[in-house]
Amino acid sequence: MTYLADVGTLARKDLLLELRARDTLPAMLLFVLSTLVVFHFVLPGDSSKLAATGLLWVALLFTALLGLSRSFAAEREQGVIDGLVLAPSDRSAIWLGKALSILVFLGLAELLALPAFALFFADVDGSLVAGVALADLGIAAVGTLLAAVAAAGRARELLLPLLFLPLAIPIVIGGVGASVSAHSARFLGFLAVYDAIFALVCWASFEYVVTE
């Protein structure tokens, strides 16, 4: 089971790095909180709970982008990507390890964001939380691969959002639908399908993104 061991090692490395450097996660937490405050001023007085919930998803999406743009930064700055790629493990383990660590960051950010949302705007119910959880899987899977793709380019801070947002549209539809619609089960099912399809495609194709 060395594959899973490799994945675990890689994920642990990223989490430990973050624990020591403390640059990405605090930024994500502060960003999501500030965005929620801005949204209060953006929404007119008689806005519905639905509008606020929609904006929550915007906040989560952009917080995720913030974290994703940092995900390969450490490797790039240290020039370590080649070392990782040459390591004897399966390249897709790099993707899985990174995606897992992003998932942890997202989860921690949401641990702050959801209570804050409940405090500022409206109640958070089970289907919202389930939607957020499933959406996180999709965001982590697709976002990690696209972060690796964007890392090879020039204007990578610009490129990542451009590449990510069209692929994130179905995630947002699924998440918002799960949160506000009466038929949440359909949307949660859809999110599960999205996650399954794209996790598989990302896992299979990551190797090609980092090698030549």
Partner 1 sequence: MRIRYSLPALASAALVLLTTAIALIAYVAPEDADQGLSQKIFYFHVPIALTAYVMFGWGAWKALVHLWRRDPAADLESYVAIHQGVIFGALTLVTGSIWAKVSWGVWWAWSSNQLVLFLVLFLFYAAYFMLRFSIEPGPRRANSSAVYAIFGVALIPVSFLAIRLANDFIHPTVFTSRGPQMSGLMFFTFCFSWAALLTLAACLYQVELAGKRLDARLRELRELLA
Give 192's DSSP letter. H
Q: Of 116-155, which residues contact partner 1 (CB under 8 A)? A: 145, 149-150, 152-155
Q: Contact, 72 vs 81, CB < 8 A?
A: yes
Does residue 166 bind partner 1 (CB under 8 A)?
yes
Does residue 211 bind partner 1 (CB under 8 A)?
yes
Indicate the burial class of 172 (C-beta count within 10 angstroms; 0-12, 13-18, 19 or more). Answer: middle
Give the nearer residue to partner 1 in terms of CB position, either 13 or 156.
Answer: 156
Residues belonging to the chain = 212
Give the nearer residue to partner 1 in terms of CB position, either 1 or 155.
Answer: 155
How far is the C-alpha of 137 from the C-alpha of 165, rounded, in Å? 15
Q: Which residues contact 141 (CB under 8 A, 6 or more apart)?
A: 99, 195, 198, 199, 202, 203
Task: Select from 74, 108, 129, 170 the one that contacts partner 1 (CB under 8 A).
Answer: 170
Task: Select from 66, 180, 188, 199 the one that contacts partner 1 (CB under 8 A).
Answer: 180
Does residue 181 bind partner 1 (CB under 8 A)?
yes
Task: Select from 24, 109, 177, 188 the one that contacts partner 1 (CB under 8 A).
Answer: 177
Does residue 41 bind partner 1 (CB under 8 A)?
no
SS3 at position 68: helix
Does residue 194 bind partner 1 (CB under 8 A)?
yes
SS3 at position 80: coil
How far is the C-alpha of 75 from the C-alpha of 116, rounded, in Å? 33
Q: How far is the CB of 201 from partner 1 (least distance, A)?
A: 5
Angle 82-16-25 from CA coordinates, rounded to 5°: 100
Task: Select from 104, 114, 167, 192 the one that contacts partner 1 (CB under 8 A).
Answer: 167
Does residue 174 bind partner 1 (CB under 8 A)?
yes
Give the nearer residue to partner 1 in terms of CB position, either 39 or 198.
Answer: 198
Does residue 10 bind partner 1 (CB under 8 A)?
no
How far is the C-alpha of 58 from the C-alpha of 54, rounded, in Å? 7
Positions touching partner 1 (CB under 8 A) are: 145, 149-150, 152-156, 158-159, 162-163, 165-167, 169-170, 173-174, 176-177, 180-183, 186-187, 190, 193-194, 197-198, 201, 205, 208-209, 211-212
